[in-house]
Amino acid sequence: MIVIGGGLAGLSAATALADAGVRVILLEKRPYLGGRATSYALPDGSHIDNCQHVTLGCCTNLADFYRRVGAESKIRHYDRLFFADKAGRVSSIYSSPLPPPFHMGISFLRFSALAYRDKRAIAEGMLRIARAGGKPSDSDGATMLDWLRHDGQTEVAIARFWRVVLVSALNEELERTDARYGIDVFWKAFLANRRGYVVGIPSVPLGELYSGCRQAVEGRGGEVRTRATVRSIQFANGAFRSLLLDDGTEMRADACIAAVPHDLLLEILPEEMRERPPFANLRKLRTSPITGVHLWYDRKVLDKPFLTLLDHTVQWIFNKSLTGGNAESSGNELGQYLQLVISASYELVARTRQEIIDLCVKEVQEVLPLARDAQLRKATVVKEVHATFSPEVGSDAWRPAQETGIPGFFLAGDWTQTGWPATMEGAVRSGYLAAEALLNFAGTPKKFTVADLPAEGFCERWAKE
Ligand SMILES: Cc1cc2nc3c(=O)[nH]c(=O)nc-3n(C[C@H](O)[C@H](O)[C@H](O)COP(=O)(O)OP(=O)(O)OC[C@H]3O[C@@H](n4cnc5c(N)ncnc54)[C@H](O)[C@@H]3O)c2cc1C
């Protein structure tokens, strides 16, 4: 069996198949594994993540994958979220012993950046989502912004709460986001189960999480080939036949999982197949950008592991010197390495590197007083213009299933049909689902996907199948 693509979708498919005793050849065009969730060396030798990647407690399949490849202990978990307003005042959100969906209510009541009126609107909106088991009937076909306004949310509540959570989680503006995806984030992460919101951050560079994948695949007589680019996928008599690689080699196999981004899949499919189901709608899937900014200061400016910013362009600041995962890049024990993330960063795409750094430094100084006197030693900007597919209204229907209907040919990738937005969890789910479909085709069915966290407390009663 062949898997094309060494991102999380391809890696999870390949390791699951290897664990089931299948000999897999994984082909990845880059020199390293991990795809969009990886790390690499800068010309000066320091290692950075492509962008800070965060998992949540509700990402059960990603957690299963980390366990499978022996990377579980390299993820640190944080059960307190910190938010800073324009004046630098910090509030935190955390769980209490109250039953879901009320478990975060006490910290929410103390949240200083929102007035009573806004908190009341948010509490009512959250309760409505919870009572509908995460599936309110009036969300069909609506954008998240329309749904929130229709729900009676105040503009302040939208700007300082709903938008802050959702733009980071879904990498899209509320006016473009399908309400179904947005509501699901709140149900899974903040309402249904008290562990859903717990943040997981790798304590090593992202690329180091995947060494167990190679061992799993090679342990079953398979192979992981990097710098191996697939130029085209070939079919015969309506079934998968072989791959043509960039070096001219033809590789035949019984079956193949294509786990490459959707736009690149179209490039390697035969032209006559691109406009046919299940690929015909792929061109409709648009992408949205994420900008990561890496700042190295000469001293400590942040004492928290991470901070979410309200009313700023920068959405998250990660204290890499504290969370690990590239801490050595601070260059000096006394210094501090911060990684800033701006999701749906449409406004920044056309800006120069220096303009983005200046904007970020100014915002860091606004919320972190210690940064005002600190020296910036080094800065790097990573613009991912096509970071993830945009979860706009209607996009779910354009996502193909892993089972293509073409014998021997399967799809994986965060853009395939998983019910999840473009996340590491979505990518791993797609990889597991593709591996399940492939084994079903081979006549040796096996299940790899794991269940969501169970709904607890009152949510158990309200949850829908
Ligand atoms: C900047 C940024 C920040 C993000 N932050 C988060 C986050 O905090 N939390 C989260 O859950 N998700 C986050 N995501 C999303 C997450 O990274 C992706 O959803 C996930 O990694 C996608 O995995 P994938 O395997 O589907 O695709 P990819 O990671 O894109 O993997 C596809 C692989 O296929 C390879 N390939 C392509 N063409 C060929 C070819 N012809 N031959 C051989 N190989 C080929 C590519 O090189 C790549 O390695 C972020 C994404 C970005 C870009």
pLDDT digits (tens, 9 = 90+) for 42-90: 888 888 999 999 999 999 999 999 999 999 999 999 999 999 998 889 9
* Structural domain that includes position 116: 97-194
* Average pLDDT rounded to a whole number, residues 227-245: 98
Give the distance (Å) from ligand 1 centre to CA of residue 10: 10
- DSSP single-letter state for residue 42: -
Residue 330 in this model has a pLDDT that exceeds 50: no
- Among 356, 389, 422, the domain boundary falls at 389
Segment 340-379, tens digit of pLDDT: 999 999 999 999 999 999 999 999 999 999 999 999 999 9
For the purposes of burial, counting CB atoms within 10 Å of the CB of 405, is it exposed (0-12), middle (13-18) or buried (19 or more)? exposed
**Two tokens, residue 275:** 């406009």
Structure confidence by residue, pLDDT tens digits, 265-319: 999 999 999 999 999 999 999 999 999 999 999 999 999 999 999 999 999 999 9
Q: Which residues contact 392 (CB under 8 A, 6 or more apart)?
A: 172, 176, 177, 178, 286
Q: What is the pLDDT of residue 109?
A: 92
**What is the position in ligand 1's atom list of the atom closest to the CA of 292?**
1
CA distance 1 to 17: 9
Strands 256-258 and 2-4: parallel
Q: Decide whether any atom of ligand 1 lies within 6 Å of the 423 Cβ.
A: yes
Q: Which of 137, 159, 194 is the last residue of a domain?
A: 194
Residues 6 or more apart in contact with residue 198 via CB below 8 angstroms: 56, 57, 77, 78, 79
Give the mutation target among 249, 288, 293, 424 for probing the ligand 1 site: most ligand atoms within 8 A of CB. Answer: 424
CB-based contact 142:150 (threshold 8 Å) = yes
Lowest mean pLDDT among 167-181, 320-334, 369-383: 320-334
Residue with CA closest to ligand 1 atom 6: 53
Q: What is the pLDDT of residue 326?
A: 62
Answer yes or no: are the C-beta atoms of 41 and 95 closer than 8 Å: no
Same domain, 417 and 374: no
Q: Give the whole-angstrom CA distance, residue 189 versus residue 186.
A: 5
Q: Are residues 189 and 337 in the same domain?
A: no
Question: Which of ligand 1's atoms lies nearest the C-alpha of 415?
Answer: 26
For atom 53 of ligand 1, which residue has the closest CA? Answer: 387
Same domain? 188 vs 126: yes
pTM for the full model? 0.97
pLDDT-derived band of residue 324, with 50, 70 and 90 as boundaries?
A: confident
Q: Is residue 90 part of a domain?
A: no
Judge whether 49 lies within some domain. no
Q: Is 53 in the pocket of ligand 1 (CB under 6 A)?
A: yes
Name the residue at shortest CA distance from atom 15 of ligand 1.
423
The count of structural domains within the chain is 3
Identify whether residues 307 and 275 lie together within a single domain. no
What's the whole-number mean pLDDT along residues 231-247? Answer: 97
Q: Tell me how far apart the alpha carbons of residues 350 and 76 are, in angstroms, rounded to a whole number.
A: 35
Question: Residue 179 falls within a domain, yes or no?
Answer: yes
